[in-house]
């Protein structure tokens, strides 16, 4: 009996361990794996297909979350500013469409057209990419830099320090991080946190 | 409406009650679902030494127009507070280092904050009841 309960405890521990490490996702400095996801034009996009990119501003976002909506114009502005510098924005929606119908692929196409998104807005229908990154909320930003053929993770976190009032922003976390990379420096603030909507996982 | 220093005082829980702090917002759908369950549990434990605080992360400008009507409609008896601290990165780790920032999230603190439990994500009626029973003195 004792042996059995010990084994059971071990099994539970192992289960919990595997769960927590899955949840964690990529850490700063990790090499991230490329992916193939469909954009709102129906084309399959991989990071490797961006020939001139020196890196990427990857934003997990969605249609319905008010915090994502609050940042749409700022995400468009990031693309305007940094695509030419070699750091295009790649937005990914990983929400399950059965949990939030507003985040279906069809709704993504509509939203991208309405807001005239100037970046690829990709659909992570299997949620595999969000899991790999350890994306937890929307918006949630991951900045990667190309080093030879590897993509190294340099920043995880928020876009800036004021969701509600863009004019009151004092710390532009994402811009600062990309500027540091462009200047050949270490990213001074590699991680930040913010309030956001949960990524809606499949039930 | 409260600021960071008041939140930090709360986190010390100088009361002799179990403190349940629910981080939520009116715009957050799973939070509203969860709220129904919380209010049910709160009623069941009304004779126990337990205090519920619903700490809203709504924007300050939505206080009168969204938060107040929400609380009134649900006849919320406990403290409904709005945390007016838009620089989230400045305080999320002070609440809980493992918190990624998504809501709902719930922090349970025993008196004098000797013991704590943090849960990110929606809690069901049964899960919340279980947690409270575990920590209730």
Q: What is the pLDDT of residues B43-92, one digit of tens each?
A: 999 999 999 999 999 999 999 999 999 999 998 878 999 999 999 999 99
Q: Smallest Cα–Cα separation from B38: which of B128, B137, B133?
A: B128
Does residue A17 sit within a domain?
no
CA distance B78 to B38: 11
Length of chain B: 137
Rg (CA), chain B: 14
Q: What is the pLDDT of residues A103-112, one digit of tens each?
A: 999 999 999 9
| pLDDT mean over B108-126 | 95
Q: How many structural domains are present in chain A?
A: 1
Between chains, do B88 and A198 touch, taking CB under 8 Å as contact? no
Q: What is the largest CA-CA distance in chain A?
A: 66
- Complex ipTM, two decimals? 0.88
Does residue A22 sit within a domain?
no
In B, which residues are within 8 Å of A136 by CB distance? 100-102, 120
Q: What percent of chain B has pLDDT over 70?
A: 100
Q: Smallest Cα–Cα separation from B96: which of B120, B74, B77?
A: B120
Q: Smallest Cα–Cα separation from A140: which of A112, A105, A173, A164?
A: A173
Between chains, do A193 and B89 touch, taking CB under 8 Å as contact? yes
| pLDDT mean over A29-46 | 97
Does residue A8 sit within a domain?
no
* Domains within chain B, CATH numbers bracketed: 4-135 (3.40.30.10)
CA distance B13 to B122: 23
Judged by average pLDDT, the poorest of A9-13, A105-109, B8-12 is A9-13
pLDDT value, residue B137:
75
In A, which residues are within 8 Å of B120 by CB distance? 136, 198
Between chains, do A66 and B101 touch, taking CB under 8 Å as contact? no
| pLDDT mean over A57-70 | 97
Does residue A11 sit within a domain?
no
Between chains, do B99 and A168 touch, taking CB under 8 Å as contact? no
Name which of A130, A138, A198 to mutate to probe chain B: the one with the most chain B Cβ atoms within 10 A of its Cβ.
A198
Its domain, for residue A168, covers: 27-198
Does residue A10 sit within a domain?
no
pLDDT value, residue B77:
79
| Cis amide leading into B2 (omega within 30) | no
In B, which residues are within 8 Å of A137 by CB distance? 100-102
Between chains, do A161 and B90 touch, taking CB under 8 Å as contact? yes
pLDDT value, residue A18:
43
Are residues A47 and A55 in contact, defined by beta-carbon separation less than 8 angstroms? no
Q: What is the pLDDT of residues A119-172, one digit of tens each?
A: 999 999 999 999 999 999 999 999 999 999 899 999 999 999 999 999 999 999
Which CATH number do you get for residue A130?
3.40.30.10
Q: Does residue B42 carry a pLDDT above 80?
A: yes
């Amino acid at each position: 009996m004792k042996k059995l309960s010990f084994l059971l405890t071990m099994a539970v521990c192992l289960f919990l361990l595997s769960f927590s490490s899955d949840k964690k996702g990529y850490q700063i400095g990790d090499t991230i794996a490329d992916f193939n996801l469909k954009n709102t034009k129906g084309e399959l996009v991989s990071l490797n297909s961006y020939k001139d990119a020196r890196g990427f501003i990857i934003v997990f976002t969605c249609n319905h979350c008010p915090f994502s909506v609050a940042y749409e114009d700022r995400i468009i502005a990031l693309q305007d500013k940094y695509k030419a510098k070699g750091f295009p924005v790649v937005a990914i929606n990983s929400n399950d469409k059965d949990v939030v119908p507003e985040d279906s692929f069809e709704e993504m196409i509509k939203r991208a057209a309405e807001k005239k998104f100037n970046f690829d807005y990709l659909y992570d229908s299997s949620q595999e990419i969000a899991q790999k990154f350890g994306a937890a909320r929307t918006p949630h930003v991951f900045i990667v830099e190309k080093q030879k053929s590897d993509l190294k993770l340099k920043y995880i976190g928020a876009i800036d320090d004021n969701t509600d009032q863009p004019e009151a922003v004092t710390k532009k976390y994402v811009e600062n991080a990309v500027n540091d990379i462009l200047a050949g420096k270490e990213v001074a603030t590699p991680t930040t946190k913010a309030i956001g909507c949960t990524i809606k996982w499949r039930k | 409406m409260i600021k960071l220093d008041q939140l930090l005082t709360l986190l010390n829980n100088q009361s002799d009650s179990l403190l349940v702090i629910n981080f939520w917002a009116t715009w957050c759908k799973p939070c509203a679902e969860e709220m129904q369950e919380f209010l049910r549990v709160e009623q069941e434990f009304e004779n126990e030494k337990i205090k519920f605080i619903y700490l809203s992360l709504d924007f300050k400008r939505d206080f009168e127009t969204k938060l107040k009507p929400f609380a009134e409609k649900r006849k919320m008896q406990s403290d409904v507070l709005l945390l007016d601290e838009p620089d989230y990165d400045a305080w999320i780790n002070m609440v809980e280092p493992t918190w990624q920032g998504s809501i709902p999230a719930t922090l349970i603190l025993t008196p004098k904050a000797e013991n704590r439990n943090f849960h990110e994500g929606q809690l069901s009626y049964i899960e919340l009841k279980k947690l409270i029973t575990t920590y209730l003195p």
